[in-house]
Amino acid sequence: AAVHGCPTIFFCRNNGYAISTNAKEQYVSDGVAPRGHAYGMPAIRVDGNDILAVYAATAAARAIALGEPPQGALRRDGATDRNPPERARPVIIEAMTYRVGAHSTSDDDSKYRTQESPDAGWDSERSYWEARSPIVRFGRFLHAKGWFSVSDEEELRRKSRREAIDALNRAEAVGRPSAEHLFTDVWDDLPPALCRQRDALKEHLARYGEAYAGFPH
């Protein structure tokens, strides 16, 4: 992307873990952002739990990618409104956040997650970060501005829960799709490799169909 000047935004959500490996054990540097410079592209690191900061960082990255610096902004490379970059280029955003939940339903994160809090005021690492959830933080911001009350938030949560459950019920009523759909909606004409995979799957299902009872094929 950097070689060809592709106007691309690479958005990396650094949540502190790669399954069970802590991010501190993965880099010699302090994260992903320095790697952007190694590939010749600007890098932006932002607090991934701050909704407004992420919005601003993404807007700035878009402007850089398109060769249009934000109005009135002076970037580190010296580009201004009157002196824009010569070409579009890729940008990497590293949003620093925290993975509160487990990697998957089969993952026991208590085996590797530290119970020590980054701050003495909290009883664990998880509780420290839960209090810094982007939803919690943005809610506090809206409450402080008087734009959104506690009762408004409670009603929104109830409404959102109802909508999610209704959508789930509708989806379950549709039924499972056929295995054929694994090969549709992407290519008009399947390439040879995918044709071979499709045919192999059909043969497998024809031979062992009883093992897939309840799944259309």
By percentage, how much of the chain surpasses pLDDT 70?
Answer: 87
> Which structural domain, as residue segments, surrounds residue 189?
179-212
User: Considering the domain boundaries, does residue 109 fall inside one?
Assistant: no
Q: Give the end of a domain, one of 102, 120, 147.
A: 102
Running DSSP on this structure, what letter comes out for residue 70?
P
Tell me which H or E stretch contains 10.
strand 9-14
Between 155 and 175, name the one with better pLDDT. Answer: 155
DSSP state of 117: -
Q: Where a domain ends, among 79, 102, 125?
A: 102
Decide if 44 contacts 33 (C-beta within 8 A): yes
Distances (CA, A) of 91 to 24, 48, 80: 23, 16, 17
Please give the pLDDT value at position 125: 77
0.85 exceeded by the pTM? no
- Rounded to whole angstroms, how far apart are CA atoms 186 and 193? 14
Last residue in a domain, options 56, 87, 102: 102
For 103-107, what is the mean pLDDT?
Answer: 81
Task: Give the range among 1-10, 23-32, 158-167 with minimum mean pLDDT.
Answer: 23-32
